[in-house]
């Protein structure tokens, strides 16, 4: 089960003796994550993995129930999804330590199909969504992650922390006053317990101690059992009872596509976040394939589908210190065992204990350094970060925030590159073009020449420029036509192979441009 990385591109030796990085690399190649065999050989490491899986399972249960209820489904569909998603991605995914389950983002995507067409159509949607994720993974979509800039990732992390915290507010409003000291006590345990021992994860100690206090003191506060009924049996295999027809495909395809895109984006972003936290690399293509396989299995076992659970992953990796597939697998195993066989005990866990854990996760996840660097960052990157955070928090959808952040970054980048393009007169009727020529930088190209004052023979040197698109070819065509209108001819010199190829293929075929 050891992983090979396909994260950053491999380094290429440079004759000068320096290290050169291929496009998309952010630095020297990271090592792969620690493997299962290493954990099995180390009792201490194995203990961390087992306890990490246990505390993560506790945190998975209430959210899985809540997301199923939000989607108008039987609560067990959320727990079944958490079980199958966690186990399958642990075995087949590309990011050890990451935990998948029934996520809120995917619940929002698929609940309309269950509401309008029934739960069997939901299961079919989840299966098709998984198939689409496998296809996208096979096509290498995961490799596009390298194009997400740091400002978007920082905004993603900060928005994630805010969403994790705001998700706890429902458990802090209109509740008995005893909830507040219990949450405070839970947070205190999480902060102080590591000073006593690191043998037991602080979140697990917090859950156990707060639960013990509630039981001993007979405090009446909301519990996990209040979130919904736990299942009485393990999930069983079943084929969705829907007609196999084009009509069915037409009903489920839009929701399946949305599930595939949102789930894959959130999972790959979470994988990248864990890479950064652990300073290791992971196989994003394998993760995409694993997410797809997990959703396929989930649909056949009566689950509502899902993706990476960011909060629970932070508990497993950051709070508990787990690093391998063992913890992720055991999180799913412990969840289903506790839900089915220990339902009465698990149902008594106070929500205050879990609120304390998730609040600690939110505080430690937020990149506080990003607030201090806002003043020194370039304005464009600050805008990208803020767009990502605000759009994510407003829509309550991490995928929407990331897409808007990336689009903003693209516009900012195009605008910045366009400013470095210049037309330099080098003599009578001679010019030199400098920079990258594309739609954003070539719009004003046609206005940079002295058509009336130049001699009959004009030369434009492109040895320090590159043509990238049809917009530039159209602009150059307009330059030729304007010079022709003044009785002059223009020659383009110094074109590289890419630029010459664009001009040869497109000039004269784009219609009037000037």
- 120: its two tokens: 């069997």
Examine the pLDDT at 150 and tell me if it is beyond 70: yes
Reference 64, options 202, 228, 174, 240; nearest CA is 228
Please say whether the beta carbons of 101 and 85 come within 8 A: yes
Please say whether the beta carbons of 154 and 382 come within 8 A: no
Greatest alpha-carbon pair distance for the chain in Å reads: 98
Spatial separation of the C-alpha atoms in residues 244 and 438, rounded to whole Å: 48
**Element containing residue 70 per DSSP (H, E):** helix 43-70
User: What 3-state class would DSSP assign to 55?
Assistant: helix
Q: What pLDDT is recorded for position 492?
A: 93
| Sheet of strand 489-493: strand arrangement | 422-427, 430-437, 457-467, 489-493
Q: How confident is the model at residue 139 (pLDDT cuts 50, 70, 90)?
A: very high
User: What 3-state class would DSSP assign to 184?
Assistant: helix
DSSP 390-406: HHHHHHT-HHHHHHHHH
Q: What is the pLDDT of residues 161-170, one digit of tens each?
A: 888 788 888 8
Beta carbons within 10 angstroms of residue 487's beta carbon: 8
Spatial separation of the C-alpha atoms in residues 46 and 42, rounded to whole Å: 6
Q: What is the pLDDT of residues 353-377, one digit of tens each?
A: 888 888 887 888 788 888 888 888 8
Q: What is the pLDDT of residues 23-66, one digit of tens each?
A: 334 445 666 676 888 878 888 899 999 999 998 998 888 778 87
Examine the pLDDT at 10 and tell me if it is beyond 80: no
Q: How confident is the model at residue 142 (pLDDT cuts 50, 70, 90)?
A: confident
Question: Distances from the Cα of 406 to the Cαs of 90, 206, 411, 466, 498, in angstroms?
Answer: 29, 38, 9, 24, 27
- 148: its two tokens: 């997400």
The β-bridge relationship of strands 307-308 and 422-427 is unpaired
Phi, psi for 279 (deg, rounded to 5): 55, 45
Q: What is the pLDDT of residues 408-460, one digit of tens each?
A: 998 888 888 777 788 999 999 999 999 889 888 887 888 889 999 999 999 99
Q: What is the pLDDT of residues 265-322, one digit of tens each?
A: 889 988 988 998 888 888 999 999 999 999 999 999 999 999 998 888 988 998 888 8
Residues 6 or more apart from 475 whose CB is under 8 A from it? 437, 442, 443, 445, 446, 513
Over residues 172-190, the mean pLDDT reads 93
Spatial separation of the C-alpha atoms in residues 406 and 414, rounded to whole Å: 12
Please say whether the beta carbons of 110 and 70 come within 8 A: no
* Domains by residue range for the chain, with CATH: 31-368 (no CATH), 420-506 (3.30.750.24)
Question: Distances from the Cα of 439 to the Cαs of 58, 232, 362, 481, in angstroms?
Answer: 53, 61, 42, 19
Helix axis angle, 246-278 to 119-138, nearest 10°: 60
HEC per residue, 445-509: HHHCCCCCCCCCEEEEEEEEEEECCHHHHHHHHHHHHHHHHCCCEEEEECCCHHHHHHHHHHCCC
Tokens 């304007």 identify what position?
482
Examine the pLDDT at 486 and tell me if it is beyond 50: yes
């Amino acid at each position: 089960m050891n992983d090979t990385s396909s994260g950053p591109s491999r380094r290429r030796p440079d004759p000068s003796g320096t290290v050169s990085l291929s496009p998309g690399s952010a630095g020297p190649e990271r090592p792969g994550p620690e493997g299962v065999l290493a954990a099995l050989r180390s009792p201490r490491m194995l203990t961390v993995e087992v306890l990490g899986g246990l505390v993560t399972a506790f945190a998975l249960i209430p959210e899985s129930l809540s997301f199923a209820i939000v989607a108008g489904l039987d609560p067990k569909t959320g727990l079944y999804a958490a079980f199958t998603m966690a186990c399958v991605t642990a075995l087949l995914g590309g990011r050890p330590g990451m935990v998948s389950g029934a996520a809120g983002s995917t619940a929002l995507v698929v609940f309309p199909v269950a509401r309008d067409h029934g739960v069997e159509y939901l299961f079919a949607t989840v299966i098709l969504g998984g198939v689409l994720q496998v296809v996208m993974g096979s096509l290498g979509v995961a490799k596009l992650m390298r194009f997400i800039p740091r400002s978007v990732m920082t905004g993603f992390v900060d928005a994630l922390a805010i969403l994790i915290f705001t998700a706890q507010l429902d458990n802090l409003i209109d509740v008995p006053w005893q909830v507040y000291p219990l949450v405070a006590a839970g947070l205190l345990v999480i902060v102080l317990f590591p000073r006593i021992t690191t043998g037991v994860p602080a979140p697990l100690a917090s859950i156990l101690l707060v639960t013990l206090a509630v039981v001993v003191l007979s405090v009446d506060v909301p519990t996990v059992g209040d979130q919904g009924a736990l299942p009485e049996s393990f999930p069983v295999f079943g084929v969705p009872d829907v007609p196999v027809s084009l009509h069915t495909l037409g009903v489920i395809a839009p929701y399946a596509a949305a599930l595939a895109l949102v789930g894959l984006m959130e999972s790959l972003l979470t994988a990248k976040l864990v890479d950064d936290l652990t300073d290791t690399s992971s196989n994003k293509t394998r993760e995409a394939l694993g997410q797809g396989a997990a959703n396929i299995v989930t649909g056949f076992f009566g689950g509502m589908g899902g993706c990476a659970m960011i909060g629970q992953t932070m508990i497993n990796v950051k709070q508990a210190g787990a690093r391998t597939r063992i913890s992720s697998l055991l999180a799913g195993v412990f969840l289903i065992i506790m839900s089915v066989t220990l339902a009465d005990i698990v149902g008594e866990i106070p929500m205050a204990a879990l609120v304390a854990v998730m609040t600690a996760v939110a505080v430690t996840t937020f990149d506080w350094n990003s607030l201090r660097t806002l003043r020194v960052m370039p304005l464009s990157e600050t805008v990208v970060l803020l767009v990502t955070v605000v759009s994510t928090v407003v829509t309550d959808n991490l995928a929407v925030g990331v897409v808007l952040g990336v689009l903003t970054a693209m516009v900012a980048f195009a605008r910045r590159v366009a400013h470095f393009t210049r037309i330099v007169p080098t003599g009578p009727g001679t010019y030199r073009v400098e920079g990258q020529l594309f739609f954003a930088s070539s719009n004003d190209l046609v206005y940079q020449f002295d058509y009336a004052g130049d001699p009959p023979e004009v030369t434009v040197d492109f040895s320090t420029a590159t043509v990238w698109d049809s917009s530039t070819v159209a602009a150059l065509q307009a330059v030729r036509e304007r010079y022709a209108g003044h009785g002059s001819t223009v020659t383009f010199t110094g074109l590289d192979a890419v630029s010459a190829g664009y001009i040869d293929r497109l000039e004269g075929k784009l219609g009037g441009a000037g």
